[in-house]
Amino acid sequence: MTAPPDDCLARNEWICGEYLRTRRHILLDAVLQHLQLTALSVSIGLLVAVPLAVLARRWGWAAGPVLAATTILYTIPSLALFSLLLPLYGLSAGLVVAGLVLYSLTVLIRNLLAGLRAVPEDTRQAALGMGYGPIRLLLTVELPLALPAAMAGLRIATVSAVSLVTVGAIVGFGGLGNLIYAGMNTYFRAQVLTASVLCVVIAVVADLLLLAVQWLITPWARARPG
């Protein structure tokens, strides 16, 4: 009579080193997809948010409509938003990226706009008095001074995107979310726990990396008088 296999996979344990050993290529593919979707969506969101925030700062009347529109988008549940975008993108990675871009705009635009509004008016006037044009003023004075607020928004948007990518599992493009949902359907404990922990690790590491970047590019923010 053959004894039952004595390993954590057969016992369906939550913590299982054998799962990591035998499924490492699956985990790596899921992590790479998760990182790609997150990075792409946040990057596109930032490219869209910067000009919108600048326009809202330049034309005060535009701030209300821009903030209202992005806030409304943010209140739409993720599944409903993906369903609304489905006719445009189909069951594709583009659907997930588009949804995450729309979600990121609220945080990014609000923080960018807050940072631009916090630039002292006398600083602007001094730069204009030195012959700075609008573009030079924006690039060399306003945006650098708005960086702390902008980076805070970027960190929030990135961590949120890491979390929301998992919802993309409903269309097969959810990175680690694919493993979480599949593991939940089959009650595969090790897969659910491992993929969930990796999501947390990605979010924490991404936040720390962006915090380090912020520390490096804003030396004036950490300077101490005297």
Q: pLDDT for 46-78, tens place per residue? A: 999 999 998 888 887 888 888 888 888 888 888
Summarised one tens digit per residue, pLDDT across range 110-162 is 999 888 888 888 888 888 778 777 788 787 888 888 888 899 999 999 999 99
* Beta-carbon count within 10 A of 211 CB: 13
Report how far residue 174's alpha carbon sits from residue 167's, in angstroms, rounded to the nearest whole number: 6
- Is 1.10.3720.10 the CATH number for 17-219? yes
Domain boundaries, the chain: 17-219
Sorted by sequence, the CB contacts under 8 Å of residue 67 that are 6+ apart come out as 56, 106, 109, 110, 113
The CA distance from 213 to 183, in Å, is: 35
Burial class (CB in 10 A: 0-12, 13-18, 19+), 101: buried
pTM here is: 0.85
Q: How far apart are CA 1 and CA 100, in angstroms?
A: 55
pLDDT higher than threshold 80 for residue 39 = yes
Higher-confidence residue of 141 and 203: namely 203
